[in-house]
Amino acid sequence: MAGQITLKSHRFRTEREQGWRDLEIILKAIEGRGIKSLTDEQIVALPRLYRSTLSSLSVARATSLDQGVIVYLESLSARAYYVLYGSQHGLGKRMATFFLRDWPLAAKTLWKETVVSVVLTILAAIIAFVLVTNNADWFYTFVPESLASGRTPVASAETLRETLYYDGDSSGLGLFASYLFSHNSKVAMFCFALGFAFCIPTAILLLYNGFVLGSFIAVFSEKGLGFEVGGWLIIHGATEIFAIILAGAAGIHIGKAVAFPGELTRTESASKAGGTAALLMAGVVIMLFFAGLLEGFGRQLITSDWLRYAIGFGTLTVWLIYFYGPRRVEAES
């Protein structure tokens, strides 16, 4: 019986091996020198050889032929599939597609989740502002000492003002800005990563970030520095806080898919939602990097309040147009 199977496998391979070899020669040429290296005859033969190889693979699996033949045909078929149907764009083209279509389209697709994320953040900021304004002890509930770094309700107006414009040593604005950026980056990543837990951790993190923002604004406003702290925040916050909001939207999108999977299993629903969410998060990382540049340089070198506001609102306008403005490429997606 074993001898018959071996003979059958040998005959099967002998009859079809030439076609496999021809396909492999074509694939090696494309992988090495590109599709332009093929002759007209090879280009015409490629689809036919691919279909023939798939047929051979189907027969080999159905008749339990030599496992080595099956593995070889699977590899050959996968390579041919990629050449015929996979993306042939270079790195530059792929990056252009990401920035011009995929990233903004992902943000626009999740606009409802983004609205929820914005509402949670603003609501928490308002609540914290009101509470801290009426009772300064609430500040210590919302803001950890390591994040406050001396910017507390008991600090004088001069001390608080100095932190908005001075960056002279390790105790100045530079260290605080670096810590704040690290803090916000972690919040953004956790907002996305914990979304699968029915959105609850994501919502809590968005509320927490709003509480921190509202608390700081309240402290500075009580000392007559509300306008100044607004400029200090917006020059980088227009990008950094927006990035956190988008990360929250991505987490909410996944959490919603897990909570309400419809006809799919929860795993399938989360996997389907994860594609759009992951695209959005890839862009969030870029936004955080850009915000880090604004935080590390622009905010510390630019001391004009009006210029800070101009840059902050300018970048916010650019982001809004980029994500939600009409674009022709969407019709091609």
In whole angstroms, give the CA distance from residue 101 to residue 95: 10
> What's the pLDDT score for residue 329?
47
Burial call 99-120: b when 16+ CB within 10 Å, e when fewer: eeebbbbbbebbeebbebbbeb
In whole angstroms, give the CA distance from residue 240 to residue 238: 6
Instruction: Report the percentage of the chain scoring pLDDT > 90.
Output: 40
Of the two residues 304 and 16, the one the predictor is more confident about is 304
Q: What is the mean pLDDT of residues 91-96?
A: 77
Which pLDDT band, with edges at 50, 70 and 90, does 178 fall under? low
> What's the pLDDT score for residue 87?
55
Of 53-57, 218-222, 285-289, 317-321, the poorest mean pLDDT is in 53-57
> What's the pLDDT score for residue 299?
67
DSSP letter (8 states) at residue 150: T
In whole angstroms, give the CA distance from residue 32 to residue 267: 39
> What's the pLDDT score for residue 133?
96
- 3-state SS, residue 90: coil
Residues 68-92: tens digit of each pLDDT:
778 888 888 888 887 777 655 566 7
Of the two residues 112 and 290, the one the predictor is more confident about is 112
Alpha helix locations (H) across 34-110? 40-62, 67-85, 91-97, 103-109
Q: How many degrees, rounded to 5, is the angle at CA 306 between CA 184 and CA 211?
A: 30
> Residue 9 in contact with residue 65, Cβ under 8 Å?
yes
Q: How many degrees, rounded to 5, is the angle at CA 227 between CA 224 and CA 231?
A: 135
- Considering the entire predicted model, what is its pTM? 0.71
Q: Which of 229, 269, 233, 235 is nearest to 253 (CA)?
A: 269
Residues 253-282: tens digit of each pLDDT:
999 988 888 887 888 788 788 888 988 999
> What's the pLDDT score for residue 67?
74
In whole angstroms, give the CA distance from residue 143 to residue 106: 33
C-alpha distances out from residue 24 to 19, 32, 259, Å? 9, 12, 47
Mean pLDDT value across the chain: 84
Tokens of 220: 């500075």
Residues 311-331: tens digit of each pLDDT:
999 999 999 999 999 876 443
Q: Is the pLDDT of residue 128 over 70?
A: yes
Torsion over CA: 122, 124, 127, 128 (sign): negative
Residues 193-252: tens digit of each pLDDT:
888 888 899 999 999 999 999 999 999 999 999 999 999 999 989 999 999 999 999 999
> What's the pLDDT score for residue 184?
73
> What's the pLDDT score for residue 209?
92
- 3-state SS, residue 82: helix
In whole angstroms, give the CA distance from residue 128 to residue 242: 19
